[in-house]
Amino acid sequence: MTFTTADLFDEHGAAMASVSLQFRNFGTRTEFSGPARTVRCFQDNALVKSLLATPGSGAVLVVDGGGSLETALMGDMIAQSAMDNGWSGVIINGAIRDSVAVNTLPLGVKALGTNPAKSAKEGTGGVDVPVQLGSTTIWPGAMVYADADGILVERRNPAGGSQATTDRATTG
């Protein structure tokens, strides 16, 4: 499937939320999409590693790392695992490491930056919970579209009910 986020937004407008955080692109796939799987963690990548070691079936892992650039939440070995297990891409509100090696993999990766420091491995956080990227809420199962211009997320809550995905949407 070939798309651009600009064309998707023009076509679907209010059905899409645009993530305003500015991410860097890593990996050789700048365009990727799929249903969201989510992880909320802070300077601890155990949940990221364990989830990316399972079949991804074309999903996009969205990680809310609290925007921390103090430690990396993914490196080349975890990225390789994601690729080997059929994940479409990974979006990290935080840092990665081993960026030179990650940039050789046919995987879509967006992160705020890089840091060579390892994270904790305690497994704290949550899996398949709503996560925030800036003012946008991403629900597990929501379709995510990413390219060089940014990230779009469908506004609806796939589990049912309405979803407030941006401050503008919640304030009317």
How buried is 114 (Cβ within 10 angstroms: 0-12 exposed, 13-18 middle, 19+ buried)? middle
- Asked if pLDDT for residue 5 goes beyond 70, the answer is yes
Report the binding-site residues for substrate: 75-78, 97
Report the binding-site residues: 75-78, 97-98
Q: pLDDT at position 105, please?
A: 97
Q: pLDDT at position 155, please?
A: 87
Report the binding-site residues for Mg(2+): 98
Q: What is the mean pLDDT of residues 86-91?
A: 98
Q: pLDDT at position 1, please?
A: 62
Give per-residue pLDDT as tens, 128-145: 999 999 999 999 999 999
Domain ranges within the chain, ordered by starting residue: 5-154
- What architecture does CATH give domain 5-154? 3-Layer(bba) Sandwich (3.50)
Spatial CA neighbour of 73 closest among 49, 96, 50: 96
